[in-house]
Amino acid sequence: MSQGSTGADALRHSVNLARLTEQLGFSRYWVAEHHGTPMLACASPEVLVAAIGSATSRIRVGSGGVMLPHYSPLKVAETFSMLSGLYGERIDLAIGRAPGSDPVTAFALQRDRRTAAPDDFPEQLAELLAYVHDRLPVTHRFARLARLPGGTMRPDVWLLGSSPQSGIWAAELGLPYAFADFINPDGVEIARRYRQDFKPSPTHPEPRVIAAIWALCAETDDEAQRLAASSRMAFTLFLQGRLIPVPPVDIALEFITQHPHEVEALGQRRRWLVGSPATVAPGVEALARDYGADEVMIVTITHDHAARRRSYELLAEVFAAG
């Protein structure tokens, strides 16, 4: 969400960008779940997935992801079954363990606040998969609940991660795996171990990896670096616990001038591919090779929506030409 705009503007921009990426030939478009922050507007990915599904016709649409510890597995399964009933095989359900918020906000999301929520993500995930794939034993007390509202249409379930544990779970359960390189740039070995230890499942006989990376393209390297200042300021403050909307470029450039060491420290913790297509494309290709990625997912945050649209246009042009 950009400074000077509203959350409603950001949500409409997401739908607009999804339409554009479909036209450009991108294969999938995911929306995240975040709570209690002025920088990111999507607190309910399932709502935005429905809006994007209605506005598109071919591109896969999904969550990136639903933060399962906040929810009942049955409720998540029913919601994404309905989306699959509406939009067919285009729906992805990517699941995350992180809260997508600070501890206070995570506690506020709890229905029962008498005690902290249990750390039982593996059990939640197993229950969710049993509903989605109708694998509950007939003797299970919830067996009849696996008859989901979307009928035979089921979402494709992915596991998100930025740590070794997520890769272990994805391999054990035979799930496709989306690694957040834009959070942790040290994921190559995690992805390799996931592939090595992968146990085939009925829905996914082979491992599958998405490397999600942060990239921003503009006509020139200088212009791309200028536009990236907005995200650099926002994320520098985010890592300090100071939450702001994405600032305009001029404000961000002044901040970087005044706080060069703080911004430099951000660069040591996060990977950024920023520049013209000739600069960014080789970096994307190298990361895809390093991860052994079947797909690369691009995350781009700018203050100006037109600049973000243009970034995806330039990437589509260079990879189509290649």
> What's the pLDDT tens digit per position in 137-179?
888 888 888 889 998 999 999 999 999 999 999 999 999 999 9
pTM: 0.93
Determine the pLDDT at residue 226: 97
pLDDT tens for the chain, residues 1 to 322: 899 999 999 999 999 999 999 999 999 999 999 988 888 888 999 999 999 999 999 999 999 989 999 999 999 999 999 999 999 999 999 999 987 677 888 888 888 888 888 889 999 999 999 999 998 888 888 888 888 999 899 999 999 999 999 999 999 999 999 999 999 999 999 999 999 999 999 999 999 999 999 999 999 999 999 999 999 999 999 888 889 999 999 999 999 999 998 888 877 778 999 999 999 999 999 999 999 999 999 999 999 999 999 999 999 999 985 5
Determine the pLDDT at residue 310: 98
The architecture in CATH of the region 1-161 reads Alpha-Beta Barrel (3.20)
Phi, psi values for residue 67, rounded to 5°: -85, 90
> What's the pLDDT tens digit per position in 56-100?
999 999 999 899 999 999 999 999 999 999 999 999 999 999 876
Torsion of CA 248, 254, 258, 263, to 10 degrees: 40
What is the residue-averaged pLDDT of the chain? 94
Are 162 and 184 spatial neighbours (Cβ–Cβ below 8 Å)?
Answer: yes
Spell out the residues 6+ positions from residue 245 whose beta carbon is closer than 8 angstroms to its own: 1, 2, 3, 4, 5, 38, 39, 234
